[in-house]
Chains A and B, each alone.
Chain A
Amino acid sequence: KAGVTQTPRYLIKTRGQQVTLSCSPISGHRSVSWYQQTPGQGLQFLFEYFSETQRNKGNFPGRFSGRQFSNSRSEMNVSTLELGDSALYLCASSRGVETGDTQYFGPGTRLTVL
């Protein structure tokens, strides 16, 4: 069974640009969450989607947005990039939203903003 895949794996952008990251969950998984990982702040929750609906959103500015498609694939978008947005962006999927569902993480997208 294929794991969570994220594309692209690496991105270099300049300040002010926008970027779209993609996440394909494990087959049959309907819940997708996004996290930002930086050396200073560690892993921080961005948003969670289930059945195309955003269930929860972390404490990030409106420049960060996401969506989920009917096939459970998800994208996140960051507009007007800032240097501080440089991070590893991780996507996780789970079967649903039950409390016992393990989160399975993808390899991440490394975003560098110059």
Chain B
Amino acid sequence: KQEVTQIPAALSVPEGENLVLNCSFTDSAIYNLQWFRQDPGKGLTSLLLIQSSQREQTSGRLNASLDKSSGRSTLYIAASQPGDSATYLCAVAPRGGSQGNLIFGKGTKLSVKP
């Protein structure tokens, strides 16, 4: 059974720091991995999607990597800003399931202090 873990559960950093969020999954048989952002009381915003054949994706100050063999992904945020404060979730689409059946981690709550 696929399980997704995110460590740490919470992280507080000063503005301007570069930071890394971690995601691990137990079964490497996945179609893709997605990183999402969730603001309090809101829905999820997709940040990056990495196909199983890819190693990384970049969007602005965000870079996500995927190491399928070790079951790990990282989300790198450069020059963090207070507006980056949110909960970050990673999710995998497991092979054998359907694309809309994502398995989520419990998230990392990020707080960026001015």
Q: How large is the interface on A (under 10, 10 to 19, 20 to 34, 35 or more residues)?
A: 20 to 34
B99 at the interface (CB under 8 A from A): yes
Q: Give the chain A neighbours of B98 by CB distance below 8 A.
A: 48, 55-56, 97
Question: What 1/0 flags go to B15-51 for Cβ under 8 Å of A?
Answer: 0000000000000000110101000011111100101
Closest residue of B by beta carbon distance from A108: B43
B114 at the interface (CB under 8 A from A): no
The answer to whether A48 and B100 touch (CB under 8 A), given A99-B32, A105-B36, is yes
Which chain B residues have a beta carbon within 8 Å of chain A's beta carbons? Answer: 31-32, 34, 36, 41-46, 49, 51-52, 89, 91, 93, 97-107
Which chain A residues have a beta carbon within 8 Å of chain B's beta carbons? Answer: 4, 31-33, 35, 42-45, 48, 50, 55-56, 58, 90, 92, 94, 97-108, 110
21 pairs of residues in contact across A and B, judged by CB atoms under 8 Å:
A4-B43, A31-B99, A31-B100, A32-B100, A42-B104, A42-B106, A43-B89, A43-B102, A45-B102, A45-B103, A48-B99, A56-B100, A58-B101, A90-B44, A99-B31, A99-B52, A100-B49, A104-B46, A105-B43, A106-B43, A107-B43
